[in-house]
């Protein structure tokens, strides 16, 4: 059986005793059925990964005794995902998959057609922690509070290319805008991108509106990309684009 891996907030040093949250204590004792002395692995996003043992487990909670460091801290590539929140399940999926795929920072973006504006940051953080635990990451992506698209663009650092997933084109009378003004295929567009930091922007179920699209495509740091001739659901677009970005620019 694999040794359980947990994220904790506490600093990790040899010999420390780290109290566990109720949910984690229950998971180790009731679900995994670990007894005191059983091995556990822990990370906190700052101090790498450590071997630990379940020190005490009882009615008043459980704690870990920290042993030796097993991995030193590393950071994933400086990749930010800007995503329009979608219906609850869709947003959960985006956060989980972006964590698995190695995004460092997640920024929910409110666009004109964003319908689900309530973002439960604590819930999303819990999803990111769980994904980080199981995916062997040493950090948990930061999830920022939602911001309107124009605010994000106003404060943008032009050194960071913004890869914009744009399924549309320019002819209003044709389906998806016809052929004129299509973005370049993502793999091809990324070949020219050498920057040390990158961001990906994806839209809501209804896409970006014409004005947002015009604005985005007028900005010098925006790299519009196509993810192929099919219209993908928002979550699929995130996963597909991240896979290409990580393999051509990132750490795959
Ligand atoms: N415009 C559509 C669909 C939006 S799909 C509509 O009106 O219903 C949701 C988001 O996924 C888009 O905003 C875009 O960022 C991304 N996306 C989906 N399919 C894509 C493709 N083939 N190429 C580029 N981006 C795509």
Phi, psi for 62 (deg, rounded to 5): -135, 160
Closest atom, ligand 1, to C-alpha of 225? 24
Q: Please give the distance, rounded to the nearest whole angstrom, from the Cα atom of residue 53 to the centre of ligand 1.
A: 47
- Residues whose beta carbon lies within 6 Å of some atom of ligand 1: 165-167, 202-203, 206-208, 226-228, 230-232, 234, 237
Domain that holds residue 63: 5-71
Residues 4-26: tens digit of each pLDDT: 999 999 999 999 999 999 999 99
Res 113: pLDDT: 96
User: Can you tell me the distance from the alpha carbon of 125 to that of 111, in angstroms, rounded to the nearest whole number?
Assistant: 22
Claim to verify: residue 85 and residue 209 sit in the same structural domain: yes
Is the overall model pTM greater than 0.85, yes or no? yes
Provide the CATH number for the domain around residue 26: 2.40.240.20
* Residue 51 pLDDT exceeds 80: yes
Residues 76-89: tens digit of each pLDDT: 999 999 999 998 89
Claim to verify: residue 142 and residue 224 sit in the same structural domain: yes
Claim to verify: residue 62 and residue 104 sit in the same structural domain: no
Closest atom, ligand 1, to C-alpha of 168? 1
Claim to verify: residue 213 and residue 112 sit in the same structural domain: yes
Name the DSSP letter for residue 252: -
Claim to verify: residue 132 and residue 54 sit in the same structural domain: no
Claim to verify: residue 107 and residue 207 sit in the same structural domain: yes
Closest atom, ligand 1, to C-alpha of 227? 23
Name the DSSP letter for residue 177: G
User: Last residue of a domain, which of 46, 71, 96?
Assistant: 71
Claim to verify: residue 131 and residue 82 sit in the same structural domain: yes
Claim to verify: residue 107 and residue 188 sit in the same structural domain: yes
Pocket test for ligand 1, best of 200, 203, 244 (most atoms within 8 A of CB): 203
Q: Please give the distance, rounded to the nearest whole angstrom, from the Cα atom of residue 165 to the centre of ligand 1.
A: 7
How far, in whole angstroms, is CA 202 from its chain's centroid? 13
Nearest alpha carbon to residue 204 among 50, 68, 90, 41: 90
User: Last residue of a domain, which of 54, 71, 88?
Assistant: 71
User: Last residue of a domain, which of 71, 103, 124?
Assistant: 71
Domain count, the chain: 2
Largest CA distance in the chain: 69
Claim to verify: residue 203 and residue 102 sit in the same structural domain: yes
Claim to verify: residue 112 and residue 185 sit in the same structural domain: yes
Res 179: pLDDT: 85
Ligand 1 atom 26: residue of nearest CA: 167
Claim to verify: residue 62 and residue 119 sit in the same structural domain: no
* Residue 116 pLDDT exceeds 80: no
- DSSP alpha helix (H) spans, 44-87: none
User: Can you tell me the distance from the alpha carbon of 2 to that of 152, in angstroms, rounded to the nearest whole number?
Assistant: 42
Question: Whole-number mean pLDDT of the chain?
Answer: 95
Residue entry with tokens 């179920």: 205
Provide the CATH number for the domain around residue 130: 3.40.1280.10
Claim to verify: residue 106 and residue 197 sit in the same structural domain: yes
């Amino acid at each position: 059986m694999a040794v359980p891996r947990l994220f904790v907030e506490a600093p990790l040093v040899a010999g420390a005793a780290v109290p566990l949250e109720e949910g984690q204590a229950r998971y180790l004792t009731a679900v995994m059925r670990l007894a005191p002395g059983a091995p556990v692995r822990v990370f906190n996003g700052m101090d790498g990964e450590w071997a630990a043992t379940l020190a005490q487990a009882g009615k008043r909670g459980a704690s870990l005794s920290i042993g030796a460091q097993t991995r030193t801290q590393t950071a994933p590539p400086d990749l930010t995902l800007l995503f329009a929140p979608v219906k609850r399940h869709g947003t959960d999926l985006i956060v989980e998959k972006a964590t698995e795929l190695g995004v460092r920072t997640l920024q929910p973006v409110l666009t004109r057609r964003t319908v689900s504006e309530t973002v439960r940051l604590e819930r999303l953080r819990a999803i990111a922690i769980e994904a980080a635990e199981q995916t062997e990451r040493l950090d948990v992506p930061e999830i920022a509070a939602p911001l309107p698209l124009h605010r994000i663009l106003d404060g943008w650092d032009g050194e960071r290319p913004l890869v914009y997933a744009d399924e549309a084109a320019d002819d209003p009378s044709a389906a998806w805008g016809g052929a004129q003004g299509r973005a370049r295929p993502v793999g091809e567009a990324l070949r020219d991108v050498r920057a040390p930091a990158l961001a990906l922007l994806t839209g809501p179920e209804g896409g970006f509106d014409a004005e947002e699209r015009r604005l985005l495509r007028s900005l010098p740091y925006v790299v519009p990309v196509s993810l192929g001739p099919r219209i993908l659901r928002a979550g699929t677009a995130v996963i597909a684009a991240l896979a290409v970005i990580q393999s051509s620019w990132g750490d795959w």
